[in-house]
Amino acid sequence: MKKLCLLFGFIHLALSLHAQEPKKIFEDDLPKEEVKQLQFYAFYINQAVSSNFYPENVFMKGQVIGRLFGDNTTRTSNEDVTMYVEQRLIPFFIYQPKLFNGRALLRASFEIDYTWGDASYGAGGNLGGAIAADFVNIQTQNIELELIPNAYWKVNLGLMRMFDTPYNPYRTFFDKMLQTGYRLSYWGTDAVGVTARRDDDISNLKLGFYQLYENNIEEKDDVYLTEAHYQQKITPKWKLGTSLYYLSDRSNGEGGVSIYAQGLNSKLNGYNGTFRFFDFGTREYKADIAWVGGYFSRNEDFMMDRWQWTGFFNYNLGVAQVGQEGEWVKGADIAGFSANTRLAYRFGQTINDHFSVDAIFASGDDNALEDKRYSGVITGNTWGAPAGIFIGTGSYLLFPHGNVVNRFTPVVADMSNMGYGLVGGTLKASKDFIPNKLNAKLGLAHANSIVAPQGGGKVIGTEVNTALSYNFGPFMSLEFHAAYMNLGNFYESNDDTYSFDINGTAVSEGRPENPWTAFLVYKWLMF
């Protein structure tokens, strides 16, 4: 607690020093051009997909999220091949009234997803593409205010992007956030809360509070998260940053994602591929967890020279206590860490002409809390589905990728790898055969677990992938992607690979078939 107070004391001091700097207030400026009161943006994606994996549960016709071979019932097959087309539209509205001269605005974004031919005349998310349609399927993504008291400060309030980078998610290209900070691997989702940030030419400061779950308003059964980020430009090419996160979980798993609930003791862990052995039974629990880390970047925009380098280190620590005979006893200590680094070299005239290597490590636990200590990684995927998305590696099957609408089912859906830990990475070569027009990519990905599951080995598998894309114009493209993965002996374990019988009981079938996928994508980011 003393360390927390000391850190926030430093932050208060930094704010005080910033307050002494001369600032240019919008009240002193004339707008360079007339402020548009209402703006519209949208992201559209249409893709045709074929693969050899699918959910066995007949009720999962809409959105399917989580680990391949996990509790979401997804499995591979040597006989059955999927063929489907899916579609997404994310409209984005910004209202910036002239009355406040650009210093206050409202953002609202929504999401409409469906698979062609799935359902009609109903209500719910991720459905509505069958004949006659008439489906109530719009989903609220963000409703938030941005208040701009001066040229440096911005305050965001409401349902907003919760990304684990120091940058403003509404004023930064998404690709940049996939390569900086913690790359959305811990927190990459939406949440309600308030953030205050100060951005200038040499530093970025962000403070945030998020209410993850409120549950019963009259009881102390909430889950909330606080964050602090600070990044400093050391030289024109180098930046260094640090962060502190703290999560308080008093929900005892109440609330959450459908019947899976959320938190350390929920079925969501088997669904998402996070550590699932916080098995406290029917006893109450409370958890306090912190994440302390740092990150760096060199030439993060890939424009100052031909080398780009980024990386992070993050340590999670905490304790979970369990109610027993009227008192709280230790359920588990938590102490684990992860590290990542990515190095890229640009050999051509565009930023798409490059080679890159991406390496990741996450500690693991080898005794399933027999020593009442979890030594693996915890991410936001313990509380959301998904809440951490590590989609910037270039993998399609081994690690998650962003070209998805309704089906987000990678082999490793969470950095913790179910608590077994992870060491692996990707290699990628990309070239523009027509600058900024025609691009081709080749990729390789491999991963091992730190701890071998019972009955299995440490080799998770190796993936090869390729992509070819053509840009019709600014932010409009047609792309073809394909990937194949050779599964390792990690999946010979009954704990990691299973099918389900008609009663929903897990049935081991040995090592599953190797997954593959291919899809044709049309994308348009509209301005």
Digit-coded pLDDT (tens) for 355-372: 999 999 999 999 989 999
pLDDT tens by residue, 137-181: 999 999 999 999 999 999 999 999 999 999 999 999 999 999 999
Please, what is the Cα angle at 345 between 342 and 347, to 5 degrees?
160
In a domain, 105, yes or no: yes
In the predicted model, is pLDDT for residue 34 greater than 70?
A: no
Q: Is 175 helix (H, G, I), strand (E, B) or coil?
A: helix
In a domain, 6, yes or no: yes
In a domain, 458, yes or no: yes
CA distance 278 to 416: 14
Please, what is the Cα angle at 167 between 245 and 11, to 5 degrees?
50
CA pseudo-torsion sign 305, 441, 394, 125: positive
So what's the pLDDT on residue 7?
A: 42
> Partners of 154 in the beta sheet?
197
In a domain, 527, yes or no: no
In a domain, 470, yes or no: yes
CA distance 411 to 51: 14
CB burial of residue 329 (10 Å; 0-12, 13-18, 19+): exposed
CA distance 381 to 70: 14
- What are the respective helix, strand and coil percentages of the chain, to the nearest 5? 10, 45, 45
- Domain range spanning residue 279? 2-521
Mean pLDDT of 223-231: 98
**How many domains are contained in the chain?**
1
Q: Residue 31: pLDDT band by 50, 70, 90 thresholds?
A: low
Residue 91 is part of a domain; what is its CATH number? Answer: 2.40.160.100
More confident residue, 258 or 375: 375
In a domain, 526, yes or no: no
So what's the pLDDT on residue 508?
A: 57
So what's the pLDDT on residue 61?
A: 74
So what's the pLDDT on residue 10?
A: 39
- In whole angstroms, how large is the CA radius of gyration of the chain? 23
So what's the pLDDT on residue 496?
A: 79
Alpha helices in 351-465 (DSSP H): none
Alpha helices in 43-115 (DSSP H): none
